[in-house]
Amino acid sequence: MRSICLILFALVFTVACSTITKEKENDIFITEKPADPLVVPPPGDFVVTVSKVTDNTITLDWTTSPQAPNQILTYGIATNDSVIISEIKQRTYTFKNLIPDKDYSFKVVAFSSNFEKKAVLVSAHTLKSFIEKVVTFNYALRRFNFQEVVKTADNGYLVYGDITEWGFQNKLFMMKLSADFSVIWKSEFIGPTGGFGEVQMVECSDHNILFVTNNTVYKYDPQANTIWAYQKTSNVNFFECISENSDGSFYLIGDAPNALYPKGNQYVVVKLDANGIELFQKTITAEGPVRIKKIMIDGNNLVLLGTISDAQLFISKLDFSGNLIISQKFLTKYSAYCSESPYAMVLTKDNNYLVMSNLNGPIFSSSYTNLPRYFKVNKGGTIIWDQFQNITSGGYDSWIHGIDVLDNGKYLTILSDDNGTSLVLLNELGNVEKHYKLTDFQTGMFVDMNAQGKYLYFTINMDKIILFDPAGYWE
């Protein structure tokens, strides 16, 4: 506050024999009154909460002090009496690289500008590790690369792939694993140059193995010895997929060679008996270039999943004589400018169909992107829900690689995106409920929940099986 002060001076003159005093009024001066001392309140009580816990991270969040809402406070954080960080202004912090299944104590200290402080203590317990173990089959200079995995009736696994061996010709292999991943048998053989390309394996009801390549269907015994082989005829360009009927016969789908490779507008239904003898062939014409990805036997019908012209996904039903009953398209709003690649079709716990596919094209921008699609449809062809899910941050580049229907009606799947690969749990409506980023592992090609409730993840082009235990972590 400014003040006006009147200053008086007394002038004293000394003459030879007397003293004269005179008062004089001087000028006016404007001065500044000293301000009152600034009072900074100490930090008051604030609340610290544990907002997220994993096996190796704990995230803390805290409120600001209500006694000093406009005051900028700084914070320090300590654990086990060791200062981790100081003079931060944000009200959240994540502790990383912690030990799984361990108790931790933390102290968050708020400091005012004059260094008065208030501390709050909080404790948390890290989850046990989600990854229980990693199984590998590499032996010195030999590397077993997985390409196809099938779960067997005894809760074991059939695995097909190739062997990279330093200094030797590459081989193919087929291997049977028990439920605990011990090798029951392994067969190595020389295949065609470059391998078979895409293959399909099916465990038969007699526990023998169907092995489908582009040109041949093999039936192997459990040690991969050939029982019979069925070669494609001139009416078939290449084989697509196969399914076993309850009477031991097989229904095989092939692509017809009525147009230039890779696809024409016809496909062929072939029925084989239990000994691999052809019973009939039936050629079916579609309205455009067609590919069949999946055949399923449901009741008295053959149910086929495929695409027309790469963009029009459809489900067709045939009778056991190969006659077309109905075909229905399930298009998306992106169908006009995106292709769609069917991945799989499975029966859900409530006896409907769950279909998975991958969209490819300029979905959200002019750049080429990928987006996984999941939709549930009843057997009458009515869509129950249709979801497009991704777990990207910023971009849209997701791809589905594996699916397993869990007993609780949820779905376990593998998704890759622009940040890597994740193990993803979808709820009953196809929404992402939880996901775990696999930062240290390659893309997978098979996922399964075993009889003990553990999650299994088989990597592709590597030989690693990752075993996850969701109890105490996800559920």
**pLDDT (tens digit per residue) in 407-463:** 888 999 988 877 778 899 999 998 888 888 887 777 788 999 998 999 999 987 677
Q: Are 452 and 407 in contact (CB under 8 A)?
A: no
Q: pLDDT band at 328, cuts 50/70/90?
A: very high
Instruction: Give 322's pLDDT tier (boundaries 50, 70, 90).
Output: very high
* pTM for the predicted model, two decimal places: 0.77
pLDDT value of residue 3: 47
- What is the dihedral sign for C-alpha 138, 139, 144, 149? negative
Where residue 261 falls among pLDDT bands split at 50, 70, 90?
Answer: very low
Over residues 141-194, the pLDDT tens digits come to 778 888 899 999 999 999 998 888 776 667 888 999 999 999 999 888 887 766
> How is the chain split into domains, by residue range?
2-32, 48-125
Q: How does residue 138 score in pLDDT terms, banded at 50, 70 and 90?
A: confident
Measured between alpha carbons, how far is 403 from 426 in angstroms, rounded to an integer?
A: 10
Residue 110 reports pLDDT greater than 70: yes
pLDDT at res. 1: 46
In this prediction, residue 348 carries a pLDDT of 92
pLDDT band at 195 (very low <50, low <70, confident <90, very high): low
Query: From CA 336, how far away is CA 67, in angstroms rounded?
Result: 60
CATH dotted code for 48-125: 2.60.40.10
